[in-house]
Homo-oligomer: A and B are copies of this chain.
Amino acid sequence: MTCSNNSIDAPFTIKWTHKLRLTNSSFTEGGVLDSLLATLQPLKILVVVDDGVTSNQPFLNSLHKWCERTGAICDEPLIVIGGEAAKNDFNVVNSVLEAINHNNLCRKSCIIVIGGGAVLDAVGFAASTAHRGLPIIRMPSTSLSQGDSGVGVKNGVNYFGKKNFVGVFDPPYAVINDSSLLQSLDKTQWRSGLSEAIKVALIKDESLFEQIEANSKLLLGRDINAMVSVLQQSAKLHLRHITDGGDPFERLDARPLDFGHWAAHKLEQLTNYTISHGDAVAIGLSIDVACSVRLGFLDNSVAMRIVSLLDSLGFPTNHSELTNTEFLTGIEEFRQHLGGQLTLLMLKGIEEPTEIHRLDHEVVRQVINELR
C-alpha cells in the first residue's frame, strides 16, 4: 500500500477456484453433485432447467429422484425458455430473481442451472447480482456449452439489440459436464461444440485438432465416447486459458479465444439467431482462416485442411447473409464490445496464432466471394 496524506493506493486480491467435474451420472448418491454440495453446504437450493432439456426424460427422472432425496430443495425446478430467447430480454433473469426472493434464498444458498449457453448466461446473471452474488453450479446441457461457454467466467444478457451488453465476470461455484445430457441433442446441437473445439485446437493444441480429424466419422455418426473425449479436451483448454492465461476478466486488449468470432457474432445477429452459434463459428473460422491465407500468414493447404474438417463434420462454411452490406460492420462491433484497439487473431499454422489490429473490408469481401 502506498499512502500519503491525500492519496492511498491499497492493493488487494480475491481468490477463486475454478472447479470442473466430468461425469455421465451427476445425480448418483455420493456422486459429483452431492460431493460439491457437501462442501458448499447451501441452506437452500433452487434448480433452474432449460426447457430444451425437458425432452431428455431419463435425465429428468434422475433429477427428480435426486431432488426428492436431497434436502434444501425449493419447490419444483424452475423451467425457463431455452436458446437465445433466454437472454434476449430480462424475463428469465427476472423469473430467477423472483424465485430467489419468493424462496428467501440468501448468499449461503445455491442455484443449480441445467441448460444451454444462453440459459447459463441469463440465470448466471441473476445469480451473480442477487444479494451481490449467490453461488451457482452450472450443468451445461449442450455440446457447445460443455466444451466452451459453460466453463467460462462470464454471464449476461443482450440489451439494445447488442450481444451480452449487460453482464458480469463472475466464476461459477463449479461446472459439471454430464455426458448423459448430450444424448437428446438434435443434429445441429450435437455438432455445435465441435466448431469451438476446432477453434481452441487451432489456437492452442494441434493434437486435439488431429484427434478431431481422426475421429470425424465417429463424431458425425454420434459416437458419444468420441464426442465426450473432444469436449473434455476443449473444456480443459478453455478452463486453463482462464486460470493460467493471466487475464481471466479480460482487462487486456487481446481476446485470444475469440478466433473467428467477429463474423460469427454478426452472422447470428443478421439471421436473428436462427443460425446456431456452432454453425456461425464454423463459418467465422472459414472466413478468418481464408483471411489468414490472403494476408500471407497461412499456407493454403493448411486452410483447406481446416475447412475440409469443418465440412466433414456437417458444418456449413458459407451463408447467404455474408454478402449483406451490413456484415462487415461486425468488425467494428467486435472492437466496440471489448473497447480499445481492434485485436483479431489470424493463423500462421495450427497452434500458431498471431494478432492483427486492422482487417481491410476488401480482404474480407474477396474471401467471401471465394468461399464455396
Report the interface size for chain A: residues with CB under 8 A from the other chain.
63
Chain A residues 122 to 156 lying within 8 A of chain B, measured CB to CB, are 128-133, 154, 156
- Whether B166 lies near A154 (C-beta < 8 A) is no
- Cα A128 to Cα B133 with chains together (Å): 13
- Please tell me which one of the listed residues B43, B104, B129 contacts residue A167 in the complex, with CB atoms under 8 A apart: B129
Which B residues are CB-close (under 8 A) to A101?
159-160, 162, 165
CB distance from A121 to the nearest CB of B (A): 11
| A57 at interface, CB cutoff 8 A | no
CB distance from A254 to the nearest CB of B (A): 13
What residue of chain B has the Cβ atom nearest to residue A159's Cβ?
A: B97
What residue of chain B has the Cβ atom nearest to residue A160's Cβ?
A: B101
Chain A residues 214 to 271 lying within 8 A of chain B, measured CB to CB, are 236, 239-240, 242-244, 248-250
What residue of chain B has the Cβ atom nearest to residue A109's Cβ?
A: B339
CB distance from A75 to the nearest CB of B (A): 17
- Whether B167 lies near A10 (C-beta < 8 A) is no
Which B residues are CB-close (under 8 A) to A239?
8, 10
- Whether A15 lies near B10 (C-beta < 8 A) is no
Which B residues are CB-close (under 8 A) to A129?
129, 156, 166-168
- Cα A166 to Cα B18 with chains together (Å): 24
Which B residues are CB-close (under 8 A) to A248?
12, 14
Q: Besides the contacts A106-B335, A106-B339, what 15 more A-B pairs have beta carbons closer than 8 Å?
A: A7-B21, A8-B18, A9-B18, A9-B19, A10-B19, A10-B243, A11-B243, A12-B242, A14-B248, A101-B162, A129-B129, A129-B166, A129-B168, A131-B167, A131-B337
